[in-house]
Amino acid sequence: MSRQVILALTAGEPAGIGPELCLQMALEERSPGIVVVACKHLLQDRARLLGLDLELQDWNPGGRAATAAGRLSVMHVEGLASTDAGKLDPGNSAYVLETLRTAARGCLDGLFDGMVTAPVHKGVINDAGIAFSGHTEFLQELCGVERVVMMLATDELRVALVTTHLPLKDVAAAITPERLTQVIRILDADLRKFFGLEHPRILVAGLNPHAGEGGHLGREEIDVIEPTLDGLRQQGIALTGPLPADTLFTPYWLDRADAVLAMYHDQGLPVLKFQGFGRAVNITLGLPVVRTSVDHGTALDLAGTGKADAGSLKTAIRVGEQMATSAKRETFE
Ligand SMILES: NC(=O)c1ccc[n+]([C@@H]2O[C@H](COP(=O)([O-])OP(=O)(O)OC[C@H]3O[C@@H](n4cnc5c(N)ncnc54)[C@H](O)[C@@H]3O)[C@@H](O)[C@H]2O)c1
Ligand SMILES: N[C@H](C(=O)O)[C@H](O)COP(=O)(O)O
């Protein structure tokens, strides 16, 4: 019998909706084993607040994780300062990052087959004096890899990003031939590895309006993007572009592609979230571990109300299980 797929699920910002979304996962039977990596007192408090009758079981590393309705396996993490829903506390930030380290190390050590993350609050972590721009960059550093790629996906659309969490004024300088080459190679390789695409077709957006209008509205397309794409095409990667970003997201182009590569966060993600907010997954490609996440933030306004929708977390778990299974298959082939 093949070993159970076990995903670590970090509960994210304690004041946000992450803890209650994790608890919601216990309400139904599920196929992968889920181990919530969080403070168990936080989960108990939130379950009490919402009137959820659940059995939280301490997980034995190496053992099976609960999959039955009504039960949830928990790996306790110490250090939580406060458990108030909706009220950020910088004193919780070190604990939040410890949950991420615990889950990622558990993946690297083979205890977990992948990790799924509930949302963290980037601002409060920085308010605690800890530089943090997102899970993506944090896990890249923790795993010691030079480049990773953020990709958000629904069943109909995949959007990957060349740059992630940086101020808009710094974007153009960050789009170098080296970065673009690394990002496209990772995207192409992981679309093959995890999504069964034999020859992924990637649409690449330009950076400037109208993809630079022949150099009259910016030269990044001519100086950086086109030559880089030409070099990668010669290596067999199926790339179309640079295309004007405003008309790239239309059925004509999307019907001819497996993924879109946007140059920056708010060029690609508003389109993806308009199309599928609440049922999309955020995937970090290029890591030595499987990592998926929700498409939304901490929603402090909803925390503790039980009204948060768990659709995106369910997608993140489903895709995480699928990716972990593909990764295992590749290891044994
Ligand atoms: N994966 C992550 O860790 C992640 C992702 C996005 C944003 N964030 C962080 O979250 C914080 C808050 O960000 P924001 O306010 O821009 O976005 P947000 O997603 O928290 O909230 C935007 C709106 O969507 C609603 N919403 C969000 N999730 C919902 C859900 N599951 N069900 C129903 N409604 C939901 C909120 O109530 C709010 O009205 C920021 O610090 C941001 O960096 C984290
Ligand atoms: N860029 C993501 C989004 O808008 O959904 C979000 O900030 C989460 O990023 P990390 O996975 O790097 O925390």
Q: What is the pLDDT of residue 330?
A: 72
Q: What is the pLDDT of residue 83?
A: 92
DSSP notation for 283-318: EEES-SS-EEE-SS---TTTTTTT----HHHHHHHH
**Span from the CA of 62 to the centroid of ligand 1 (angstroms):** 33
Give the span between the Cα atoms of 13 and 5, in whole angstroms. 25
Nearest ligand 1 atom to alpha carbon 299: 20
Residue bearing the CA closest to ligand 2, atom 3: 295
Around ligand 2, the residues with Cβ closer than 6 Å are: 134-136, 265, 269, 282, 293, 295
CATH class of the domain defined by 147-285: alpha beta
Of 325, 304, 319, 291, nearest to 137 (Cα)?
291
Confirm if 132 and 125 have CB atoms less than 8 A apart.
yes
Nearest ligand 2 atom to alpha carbon 152: 5
- Which residue ranges make up each domain of the chain? 1-145+287-332, 147-285
- Please give the backbone phi and psi of residue 29, each rounded to the nearest 5 degrees, phi first: -70, 150
The single residue listed with the structure tokens 């079981």 is 57
Q: What is the pLDDT of residue 332?
A: 60
Q: What is the pLDDT of residue 329?
A: 76
- Tens of pLDDT, residue by residue, the chain (333 residues): 468 999 999 999 999 999 999 999 999 999 999 999 999 999 999 999 999 999 999 999 999 999 999 999 999 999 999 999 999 999 999 999 999 999 999 999 999 999 999 999 999 999 999 999 999 999 999 999 999 999 999 999 999 999 999 999 999 999 999 999 999 999 999 999 999 999 999 999 999 999 999 999 999 999 999 999 999 999 999 999 999 999 999 999 999 999 999 999 999 999 999 999 999 999 999 999 999 999 999 999 999 999 999 999 999 999 999 999 998 877 665
Q: What is the pLDDT of residue 63?
A: 94
> Is 210 labelled a binding residue?
yes
Same fold, 1-145+287-332 and 147-285: yes
Q: Using omega within 30 degrees of 0 as the cis cutoff, is the peptide bond preceding 251 cis?
A: no
CATH fold of 1-145+287-332 = Isopropylmalate Dehydrogenase (3.40.718)
Residue bearing the CA closest to ligand 1, atom 43: 122
Give the span between the Cα atoms of 205 and 217, in whole angstroms. 15
Give the span between the Cα atoms of 134 and 103, in whole angstroms. 15
Q: Is the CB of 298 under 6 A from ligand 1?
A: yes
Of 29, 11, 25, nearest to 75 (Cα)?
11
Single pTM value for the model: 0.96
Quote the ipTM score: 0.98
Q: Is the CB of 302 under 6 A from ligand 1?
A: yes
> Is 154 labelled a binding residue?
no
Question: For residue 58, what is the enclosing H or E element?
Answer: strand 55-58
> Is 208 labelled a binding residue?
no
Query: How far is C-alpha 289 from the chain's CA centre?
Result: 12
> Is 76 labelled a binding residue?
no
Of 86, 115, 7, nearest to 307 (Cα)?
86
